[in-house]
Amino acid sequence: MKFVFFGAPGAGKGTMAARAAESFGLPHISTGEIFRAAMRAGTPLGLRVKAVIESGGLVSDELTIGLVRERLAEPDAAGGWLLDGFPRTMAQAEALAEFCPEDYVIDLEVSDAKVVERLSGRRMCRGCGRSFHIHLMPPAVAGVCDDCGGELYVRDDDAESAVRSRLENYYRQTAPLVDFYKRRGTLVAVDGEGRADEVWAVLRERMRGLIESGKA
């Protein structure tokens, strides 16, 4: 079974996809993982991506689509996959529909206010890289990492102004894909507002039902 995990920044795509991968035995494939693996392997596409990233540029649809196509052709993806972070544009969605059509798109619906709360509340440790959240997973001592005692800081991407900018980009570039997948009949909306365990409990049952119906 082939699933795309979709939603705004901070919707929980990576977290839910990782849990689903473990629960259902499907490879969790993210664009970040694809880029890093291709660069490590030194494939022709990987070298092109490395050159773009090192120059500070953005990886084009053409390159991203090529790398995803390569990755989905690997043996571990033959029985299905969970895509996280792809597609992000209409060109990417149309390409995926051509070379490896999705079965379902899990749309994690989260309000803008919740996205801002989740991302702007995140704190990272400068020492060990552990992630905390001032509301959802606070450290024992404010501003100090529980593990190594390092200083906790706000990443530039997690500043409230940056989060709102990311949301604007999402609505402009990625949100139109919702209508695309509705027309294809593959969109499955899931409320992503709750705590991770609550969202996962609902999502797991929805996915189990979809997978079982696909086997029938």
Roughly how many angstroms between the first and final C-alpha of the chain, as a whole number? 13
Is residue 88 part of the annotated active site? The answer reads yes
C-alpha 199/C-alpha 76 separation (Å) is 27
Q: Which of 40, 126, 155, 208 is catalytic?
A: 155
Is residue 166 part of the annotated active site? The answer reads yes
Is residue 172 part of the annotated active site? The answer reads no
Is residue 208 part of the annotated active site? The answer reads no
Q: Which of 36, 50, 114, 166 is catalytic?
A: 166
Q: Which of 13, 19, 48, 118 is catalytic?
A: 13
Q: DSSP characters for 23-50? A: HHT--EEEHHHHHHHHHHHT-HHHHHHH
What distance lies between CA 99 and its chain's CA centroid? 21
Q: Which of 19, 48, 118, 122 is catalytic?
A: 122
Strands of the sheet containing 28-30, edge to edge, are 28-30, 81-84, 2-6, 104-109, 187-191
Longest CA–CA separation in the chain, Å: 53
Is residue 13 part of the annotated active site? The answer reads yes
* Residue linked to tokens 């070379």: 99
**Residues labelled as active-site residues:** 13, 88, 122, 155, 166
